[in-house]
Structure 1
Amino acid sequence: MDSLGPSRLRVPVRPDGILGPDSHVHSKLDKAIVNTEWIQKFTYLEAEVINPGCSNHSPIAIMLDKKRSIGGRPFKFFSILGDHDEFLSIVQQAWSERILGTNRKGVWNRMKLVKIGLKRLNTKDFNSIEDKVQMIRDKLATIQNQIRNINHFPELFEEESTLKKSLEKWNLIKESIFK
């Protein structure tokens, strides 16, 4: 399925293909088109062909049911996780676990362990990124206001420089996450 554009859900068409004067017209319009994001977001998608009434074409209702979701949302790997100091240790720890079963099952279970570790890391360090960025901006504004004061301390310039670097770092992280 094409992950970039809309996806089509096939709707059953009359198998005999015979169209008489009272027959329903089946054409390209008798298809359901959904956004690929819907397929990822909603685990249950159903296209229902409704009776055509006085039209030549049947309306199609697309039912999205978020309540039928069995698992959580899919894991999304952010490249910023790969640059984190703890990334390699999380992967090494997961792959050093002794797991019984077939090779395929072992790979599957180790990947699940990596996913759990990375989710924990993501929650710990990147969960409230907007709050972190705002907090750094507020601190930077406070320091810059203090620098304007004639009686300011020279250490404030160093602290300002550190905050600017930190703000740039967290803005890049935020940008890479929201892409």
Structure 2
Amino acid sequence: MGDFNSILHVEDKIVGSQVQETELRDFKQCLLDTRLPELKTVGRNYTWTNVHTYSSIDKALVNAMWLQSWTHLECSILDPRFSDHSHLCVTIEARENIGPKPFRFFNYLAGHPEFMQTMENNWKSQRQASSMNEVWRKIKTLKQPMRGLSNHDFQGIQYRVTIIRTQLKVLQEQMRYIRDDNQVKQYQMEKNLKTQLEKWRNIEESATK
């Protein structure tokens, strides 16, 4: 189960260059030789995109013993969210996802265009530091100016990320059932949401303790 970087059928790819039979021949013959059919899939139609084309190159392959022992199982093609690949999932036993999410501090202010100037102005406004205790006090006074920058341009980062993720999730759920010309429009909307999510995820991922 994974990325085989090859498709089996012409309909496994949309948008981009036309699929040639020679592109399918080797992979098809390989599966015939190894007697590994593709496990039935549910969910999205395509498992990978480079934003310009969409294809099903991620697959779950099984043998005859698997088919006899696990006749009821299917491979779910999950929503890719921020990735260019959709994860594949074969659920044998359901498990609860428990435990709180860890607290994260977003260290994004260093990239703010006014960060250095704000630091310099506030530092110079204080008296000259002659001891580590006074240095600590000068650093402490930076709290309010930094909070001001954060509230002005970056307020509600977690909320923004959550909203965009939710919009992307809803759109990708709808895309599971699209079979007409509207799918190209939906994929463009997906691309735009991923671009927005990348912007705010980059801020989120700059967090440090």
- Shorter-chain TM-score: which interval? 0.3 to 0.5
Q: Which of the pair has more CA radius of gyration?
A: 1
What TM-score do you get using the length of structure 1 for normalisation?
Answer: 0.38
Select the structure with the greater relative contact order (CA < 8 A; seq sep ≥ 6).
2
* TM-score of the superposed pair, with normalisation by structure 2: 0.34
